[in-house]
Amino acid sequence: GDADAGRAAIKAAGIPDGVYLPYIVLAEGQNVTRETLDKTASILGQAPGIWGAAAPPSWQKANVGLVEAFGLDDGSSRTAKTTISNLRNSVLPGIVNNGGPTKLTLGGAAPEERDFIKAVYGKFPYVLLFVLLLTFVLLMRAFRSVVLPIKAVILNLVSLGAAYGIVVFIFQDGHGSDAIWNIKATDAVISWIPLMIFAFLYGISMDYEVFMITRMREAYDETHVTKRAIELGLARTGKLVTSAALVLMFAFFSLSTSPGPDIKQFAIGLSAGIIFDATVIRALLVPSTMMLLGRWNWWLPHWTARVLRTRPSPLEPVAAGAGER
């Protein structure tokens, strides 16, 4: 279309990709004059990673002015991260200290995106830890087990890792994105995608986990045989979990037909993560790990039960399980 033709014309003219997300420098202070703004633009244009800079006269008013700089690389690329850090930590302070405007602030879409990533993902490990601990405590009371919540948390993280890996493999590395969705390799994942996939997929996969393990726990309380409990739990929930996963997978996959690359990444990450969780995780890894753990699946010591205000589930003797581990 016209957009592609315009992009091709810009590239043919030798203009770099950084023109699409320029850096905007806000100059403030009593010494903001035409001379200081032109000096600022000249120094910015010679900075590493910068193709050129300009300070249009119409962008100055009283003691405030704007300078626009164009990078050599796309503002969302890895190399642009180094350019932004250099501008903030070295170039702009150097201009201020050498007779430039009193205050220089770096803005624009690319620096704002870096600030967003730092603000959100800088605290994300603490949020993740809180969610995992809360999940562990709630599931420990629901399943009356110490081991099953640990297994649930670990396998949920495996599902998340698989979804992230699929998004990186398809869109960031470009394996199939051009052939199927007509999108070249992006070399990066859009900043909000991992956070939203975590919010959706962690909740959905944990819902499947609770649904299945609750039935297995009920069957074990009746039979006291782990193998039989797993068989009954899978028989009662397997079709429902798989059907629900298929419905959600196709619903999210349909979103990938939208034109925006951000929605495509989000839709493919969620649909692939959901079907991976329902098949590989719930149908294979959950029952197999539970068979390996045997009677330890159902262990909840008395002191833990008292804290959680629920019934204890002491470790069954080996002989009582008719072949249990």
Contact 300, 189 (CB under 8 A): no
First-residue to last-residue Cα distance in the chain: 65
pTM: 0.78
| Mean of the per-residue pLDDT values of the chain | 89
Give me the pLDDT at residue 324, please.
53
Contact 278, 242 (CB under 8 A): yes
Give me the pLDDT at residue 319, please.
53
Average pLDDT over residues 170-179: 85
Work out the pLDDT band at 320, boundaries 50, 70, 90.
very low
Average pLDDT over residues 124-143: 93
Average pLDDT over residues 292-318: 88
Among 198, 169, 209, which residue's Cα sits nearest to residue 185? 169
Residue 168's alpha-carbon distances to 20, 162, 175, 248, in angstroms, are: 23, 10, 9, 21
Q: How far is Cα 189 from Cα 266, in angstroms, rounded to an integer?
A: 10
pLDDT at 295 over 80: yes
Residue 239 makes CB contacts below 8 A (sequence gap 6+) with none
Among 31, 303, 325, which residue's Cα sits nearest to residue 314? 303
Encode pLDDT of 55-108 as tens digits. Answer: 999 989 888 999 999 998 888 788 888 999 999 999 999 999 988 888 999 999
Classify 37 as helix, strand or coil: helix
Work out the pLDDT band at 321, boundaries 50, 70, 90.
very low
Each domain of the chain, given as residue ranges in start order, spans 2-117, 124-321
Share of the chain above pLDDT 90, in %: 58
Give me the pLDDT at residue 260, please.
81
- DSSP assignment of 10-33: HHHTT--TEEEEEEEEEEESTT--
**Token pair recorded at residue 51:** 């193709």
Q: How far is Cα 34 from Cα 20, in angstroms, rounded to an integer?
A: 26
| CATH class of residue range 124-321 | mainly alpha
| CATH class of residue range 2-117 | alpha beta
Q: How far is Cα 27 from Cα 77, in angstroms, rounded to an integer?
A: 26
Give me the pLDDT at residue 149, please.
95
Q: How far is Cα 249 from Cα 268, in angstroms, rounded to an integer?
A: 9
Among 290, 291, 315, which residue's Cα sits nearest to residue 305? 315
Q: How far is Cα 209 from Cα 213, in angstroms, rounded to an integer?
A: 6
Encode pLDDT of 142-171 as tens digits. Answer: 999 999 999 999 999 999 999 999 999 998
Q: How far is Cα 219 from Cα 233, in angstroms, rounded to an integer?
A: 7
pLDDT at 1 over 70: no
Work out the pLDDT band at 178, boundaries 50, 70, 90.
confident
Encode pLDDT of 228-283 as tens digits. Answer: 999 999 998 988 899 999 999 999 999 888 888 889 999 999 999 999 999 999 88
Q: How far is Cα 200 from Cα 270, in angstroms, rounded to an integer?
A: 8
Average pLDDT over residues 192-216: 92
Give me the pLDDT at residue 317, please.
76
Beta strands in the chain (DSSP E): 18-28, 50-54, 60-61, 64-71, 103-107
Give me the pLDDT at residue 100, please.
83
